[in-house]
Structure formats: structure tokens, C-alpha cells
């Protein structure tokens, strides 16, 4: 039987995004205090103490999650990577969270190498700094101990929970789209059609873009048709602002109740497949 984690321990001093997020994930799962000090040998040997980003050990069985002992040529892996792997959601997080790989590079390679890898200069990278990040990291760095109920602790716990929920719910959503989506060819273009189901997802179009990326169709699919969450009909939209369709061309149709002035999206009360295809034919740019 796994030993319950009773505390999360990370290093004192300056704080970085990788250990803050790693601790946030563990706080969301276990709801225990976070202590910021150097670990002892007893801490490292105690599976009830999760040691994060310090201690020179990566041993998930003992809940030790440090990466600093890895060789310099090791692929970019940080404490956040190790905790995500431990929770079994790393691969999905890498797929769904575009910010994760740059965060791994930044923590293990530094800003100059990361900027070069991203194809930007160091000054541009600095312009992407967020005051939200700065405040959370600074306040976290000042604390020696954070317990449930503390403001920063609860912010971290919410951040960790939202990340877990996002990754897991998006995986479920992609599986749903995989099982229900249809690929059409209309007006010489590839179209993804997502039929109405019972029960209906809260956001019927959510995840379609990620799904298309996962099957290598994000550049070839020109338009999407999906259930309108506010009515019984469907939404029609361009995929990645594809120029093949202009939905202002259907705004005068009797069963179209909305068409954006820039032509990238429209809403129709039509529910029959042949009518939806006909609207696409009319909207062909």
C-alpha cells in the first residue's frame, strides 16, 4: 500500500516556475503543507515527504523529484516534468500545453539557449514575462512554510488542480471527438463535422483544434461544423482562418441567424446534413 504524502519539501531562496508548478500539482492531489528548506537524509528516505527540485535524487517510489543530478546533455527535464510523469499525465500535458516544453528548456538550459531554440532573441523572451508569474514566484520565495488556507497555498492548489483538470478533461474530449467526428469533402475542401449527441458536451467545439493536430489535419481541414450550444442547430467556422470559406455569403439565408461581419463564423438552425453541406457550398469563397 502506498504511503500517503504528509508534506511537500522544496528548496529555500529564489523560486522558479518548475518547482512552483510541481508543488502546485502535489498540493492539489495531496492537500498537505509545503515546506521550503534544504532536505535532510531522513527527508529523502521518507516517502511521506515529497522532495521537489532539490536533494539530487529522482526516485518516485520515495517521492523524490529532483533533476539537477542529470548530465548536461540530458533532454530538458525539470521538477515539473518529473511530477507530471509521476501523476501519469506528462505525455498528454506535452501534447496539450504549448508552454510546457519551453518551460523545461528555460529551467534546464537558461534564457539565452531557450531564446535561440525558440528562434527569438533574448530581449523578446524577456518581453513575455508576466506580472502574475513574478508576484507568485516572489511571494512563494519569501515563505518558509505554506499550509492549506494560506492565500499563496490556495492559489497554488487551484493552479495545480486546474492544470490536472485541463489535461484530463481534454484527453476525454479528444477521445469523444475521435469517436464521433466525421470528415467530409465539400466544395473541394476537407470539413470536420461533429454531430449532436446526448448528452451534449458543455462546449461542443472545444478540443476540435487539438484533435486535428493529433491526426495531422490541422493545416488541411478548411472548416468545422459543430452543435450550437445555444440552440438546436449548428455552428460553422473557418479552421485556422482558412480562406476557402466566407460565411457572410450565407447571412441572407432564412435558416442562418448569425454571420460574423468578418466571415469566419456563422450559426444556423439547420440540422439536416444535406442542408449544412449546401450552406458550405454557398459560403465557398
Domain membership of residue 215 (yes or no) is yes
Domain membership of residue 101 (yes or no) is yes
Mean pLDDT value across the chain: 95
Q: Which of 200, 206, 237, 204 is nearest to 222 (CA)?
A: 237
What pLDDT shows up at residue 3? 80
Domain membership of residue 1 (yes or no) is no
* Run of H or E residues at 46: none
Domain membership of residue 163 (yes or no) is yes
Q: Which residues of 52-68 are buried (b: 16+ CB within 10 A; e: fewer)?
A: bbbbebbeeebbbbbbe
For residues 190 and 164, membership in a common domain is answered with no
Residue showing cell 521518507: 46
Q: pLDDT, tens digit, for every residue of 150-181?
A: 999 999 999 999 999 999 999 999 999 999 99
For residues 149 and 257, membership in a common domain is answered with no
The answer to whether 37 and 144 are in contact (CB under 8 A) is yes
Residue 2 has pLDDT above 80, yes or no: no
Residue 13 has pLDDT above 90, yes or no: yes
Domain membership of residue 175 (yes or no) is no
For residues 121 and 194, membership in a common domain is answered with no
Kindly state the average pLDDT of the residues 1-16.
Answer: 91
Residue showing cell 546533455: 73
**% pLDDT > 70, the chain:** 99
Q: pLDDT, tens digit, for every residue of 37-90?
A: 999 999 999 999 999 999 999 999 999 999 999 999 999 999 999 999 999 999
Q: pLDDT, tens digit, for every residue of 222-262?
A: 999 999 988 889 999 999 999 999 999 999 999 999 999 99
For residues 210 and 71, membership in a common domain is answered with no
> Residue 73 class from Cβ within 10 Å (0-12 exposed, 13-18 middle, 19+ buried)?
exposed
Query: What is the span of the domain harbouring residue 233?
Result: 181-283
In the numeric block, which cell numbers belong to residue 62? 520515495
Count of domains forming the chain: 2
For residues 47 and 96, membership in a common domain is answered with yes
Last residue of a domain, one of 146, 170, 194: 170
For residues 91 and 143, membership in a common domain is answered with yes
For residues 13 and 148, membership in a common domain is answered with yes
Residue 201 has pLDDT above 90, yes or no: no
The answer to whether 31 and 38 are in contact (CB under 8 A) is no
Last residue of a domain, one of 108, 141, 170: 170
Last residue of a domain, one of 125, 140, 170: 170
The answer to whether 129 and 135 are in contact (CB under 8 A) is no
Amino acid at each position: 500500500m502506498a504511503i500517503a504524502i504528509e508534506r511537500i519539501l522544496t528548496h529555500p531562496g529564489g523560486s522558479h516556475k518548475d518547482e512552483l508548478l510541481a508543488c502546485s500539482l502535489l498540493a492539489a492531489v495531496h492537500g498537505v503543507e509545503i515546506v521550503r528548506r534544504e532536505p535532510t537524509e531522513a527527508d529523502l528516505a521518507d516517502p511521506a515527504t515529497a522532495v521537489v527540485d532539490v536533494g539530487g535524487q529522482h526516485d518516485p517510489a520515495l517521492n523524490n523529484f529532483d533533476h539537477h543530478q542529470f548530465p548536461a546533455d540530458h533532454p530538458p527535464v525539470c521538477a515539473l516534468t518529473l511530477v507530471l510523469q509521476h501523476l501519469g499525465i506528462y505525455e498528454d500535458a506535452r501534447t496539450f500545453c504549448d508552454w510546457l516544453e519551453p518551460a523545461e528548456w528555460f529551467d534546464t538550459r537558461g534564457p539565452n539557449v531557450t531564446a535561440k531554440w525558440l528562434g527569438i532573441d533574448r530581449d523578446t523572451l524577456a518581453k513575455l514575462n508576466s506580472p502574475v508569474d513574478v508576484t507568485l514566484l516572489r511571494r512563494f520565495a519569501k515563505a518558509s512554510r505554506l499550509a492549506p488556507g494560506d492565500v499563496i497555498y490556495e492559489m497554488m492548489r487551484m493552479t495545480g488542480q486546474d492544470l490536472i483538470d485541463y489535461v484530463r478533461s481534454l484527453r476525454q474530449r479528444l477521445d469523444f471527438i475521435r469517436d464521433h467526428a466525421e470528415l467530409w469533402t465539400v466544395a473541394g475542401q476537407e470539413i470536420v463535422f461533429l454531430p449532436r449527441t446526448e448528452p451534449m458536451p458543455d462546449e461542443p467545439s472545444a478540443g476540435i483544434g487539438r484533435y486535428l493536430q493529433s491526426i495531422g489535419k490541422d493545416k488541411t481541414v478548411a472548416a468545422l461544423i459543430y452543435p450550437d450550444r445555444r440552440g438546436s442547430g449548428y455552428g460553422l467556422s473557418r479552421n485556422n482562418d482558412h480562406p476557402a470559406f466566407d460565411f457572410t455569403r450565407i447571412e441572407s439565408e432564412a435558416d442562418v441567424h448569425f454571420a460574423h461581419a468578418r466571415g469566419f463564423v456563422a450559426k444556423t438552425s439547420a440540422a439536416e446534413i444535406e442542408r449544412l453541406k449546401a450552406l458550405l457550398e454557398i459560403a465557398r469563397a
